[in-house]
């Protein structure tokens, strides 16, 4: 039986779209799609928030919104891709503190300049991180236990991160310095594989976004020892802060949206307004609540100020820790 050419083309197009890794939310034309790039693997908190934001943002803009993961090199591959994209407001980066305020001090060469190649749209949220140990350290009940064991086995306790120079890498280095520990760093390509390595006893521990740690601890595969927050978390009220335990360490992960540098001010203002409304969506707020967080919208200037202040803090920390990648 012959198939009409128009039908064949429709079938081929539908098949191609079905095979794409990005997730379409509305039925707008493909050439009008807005793309949110997450510069990390699927399954991590950045991916989760990008996808949770896509639907309400698409509904508000009456535009197809897709999420595309472009991981690698500490998030710089995805960030560089957005920086080189057309400045028409249809390609955005869901960047994090790593991509915007840290890795420029880690990597000697980056495919983008975080200060000049990306235009701030809005902060999305601050995600708290907590110290989690896996079953390989099942005997560890608290930070004091961990300290005693690590001091008895210099270099024998391992910790995971989602990359050299990531916020969770720096947090663990700060903790090790404060407690006088020698630890083994095992970097992974993203949050999901790093957390899985701890849960499967391949690596001993990790600083983890609170929501992921909460999920891992509920089935008994992990234990949360402390949070790296100023106060106890509503999500984990039974978990002490490191500050309560005598370690003055408060660090966290923030996410924010960026457009290519050449995007017009009018377009950025439009996007900022739509993003702020999308962040009020109940489903999105619920996703953040599971992460121990809440919406934290800012103006573009407010985000610019935050990332500038963070660069000063983390630039000095990276220099002190002497972390560099050629």
> Residue 217 domain-assigned?
yes
Q: Are residues 149 and 213 in the same domain?
A: yes
Q: Are residues 114 and 138 in the same domain?
A: no
Q: Are residues 98 and 142 in the same domain?
A: no
Q: Does residue 18 carry a pLDDT above 70?
A: no
Neighbours of 255 (CB within 10 A): 23
pLDDT in tens, 55-86: 999 999 999 999 999 999 999 999 999 999 99
Q: Are strands 158-161 and 184-187 parallel, antiparallel or unpaired?
A: parallel
DSSP string, 189-256: SSHHHHHHHHHTTSS-EEEEEHHHHHHHHHTTSEEEEEE-SSS--SSSTTSPBTTTTT-----EEEEE
> Residue 6 domain-assigned?
no
> Residue 238 domain-assigned?
no
DSSP-assigned beta bridge partners for residue 159: 185, 205
Model confidence at 284, pLDDT cuts 50, 70, 90, reads: very high
Q: Are residues 80 and 138 in the same domain?
A: no
pLDDT in tens, 227-245: 999 999 999 999 999 999 9
CATH number for the domain including 24?
Answer: 3.40.190.150
CATH number for the domain including 133?
Answer: 3.40.190.10
Mean local confidence (pLDDT), 2-15: 40
pLDDT for 139? 95
Mean local confidence (pLDDT), 38-56: 96
Q: Cβ(138)–Cβ(102) under 8 Å?
A: no
- Pair of tokens at residue 123: 């902060």
Q: Does residue 20 carry a pLDDT above 60?
A: no
Q: Are residues 148 and 115 in the same domain?
A: no
- Pair of tokens at residue 72: 């690698």
Model confidence at 137, pLDDT cuts 50, 70, 90, reads: very high
Query: CB within 8 A of 41, min separation 6: which ones?
Result: 47, 69, 71, 189, 190, 191, 192, 193
Q: Are strands 118-134 and 205-209 parallel, antiparallel or unpaired?
A: antiparallel
- Pair of tokens at residue 36: 């949110």
Q: Rounded to an integer, what distance in angstroms lies between the CA atom of residue 210 and that of residue 293?
A: 9
Q: Are residues 218 and 268 in the same domain?
A: no
Vertex 35: Cα angle to 307 and 40 (nearest 5): 55
Q: What mean pLDDT value characterizes the chain?
A: 91
Model confidence at 3, pLDDT cuts 50, 70, 90, reads: very low
Q: Does residue 7 carry a pLDDT above 90?
A: no
Q: Does residue 31 carry a pLDDT above 50?
A: yes
Q: Rounded to an integer, what distance in angstroms lies between the CA atom of residue 39 and that of residue 23?
A: 15
Q: What range does the domain containing 269 cover?
A: 20-127+253-321
**pTM here?**
0.87
Q: Cβ(290)–Cβ(49) under 8 Å?
A: no
pLDDT for 196? 96
> What Cα–Cα distance (Å) separates residue 11 from each residue in 5, 8, 16?
10, 5, 9
């Amino acid at each position: 039986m012959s198939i009409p050419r128009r039908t064949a083309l429709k079938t081929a197009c539908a098949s191609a779209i079905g095979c794409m890794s990005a997730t379409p939310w509305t039925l707008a034309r493909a050439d009008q799609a807005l793309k949110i790039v997450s510069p990390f693997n699927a399954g991590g908190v950045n991916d989760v928030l990008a996808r949770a934001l896509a639907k309400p943002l698409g509904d508000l803009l009456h535009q197809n919104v897709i999420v595309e993961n472009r991981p690698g090199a500490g998030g710089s591959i995805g960030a560089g891709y957005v920086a080189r994209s057309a400045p028409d407001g249809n390609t955005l980066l869901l960047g994090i503190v790593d991509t915007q305020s840290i890795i420029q001090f880690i990597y000697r060469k980056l495919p983008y300049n975080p200060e000049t190649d990306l235009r701030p749209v809005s902060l999305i949220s601050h995600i708290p991180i907590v110290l989690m140990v896996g079953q390989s350290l099942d005997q560890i009940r608290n930070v004091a236990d961990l300290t005693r064991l690590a001091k008895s086995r210099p270099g024998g306790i391992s910790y995971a991160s989602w990359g050299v120079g990531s916020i969770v890498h720096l947090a663990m280095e700060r903790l090790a310095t404060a407690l006088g520990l020698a630890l083994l760093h095992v970097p992974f390509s993203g949050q999901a594989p790093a957390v899985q390595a701890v849960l499967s006893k391949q690596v001993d521990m990790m600083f983890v976004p609170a929501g992921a740690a909460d999920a891992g601890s509920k089935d008994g595969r992990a234990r949360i020892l402390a949070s790296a927050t100023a106060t106890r978390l509503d999500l984990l009220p039974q978990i002490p802060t490191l500050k309560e335990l005598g370690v003055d360490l408060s660090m966290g992960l923030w996410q924010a949206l960026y457009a290519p540098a050449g995007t017009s001010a009018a377009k950025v203002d439009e996007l900022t307004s739509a993003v702020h409304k999308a962040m009020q969506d109940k489903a999105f707020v619920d996703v953040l609540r599971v992460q121990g967080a809440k919406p934290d919208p800012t103006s573009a200037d407010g985000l610019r100020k935050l990332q500038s202040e963070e660069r000063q803090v983390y630039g000095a920390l990276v220099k002190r820790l002497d972390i560099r990648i050629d």
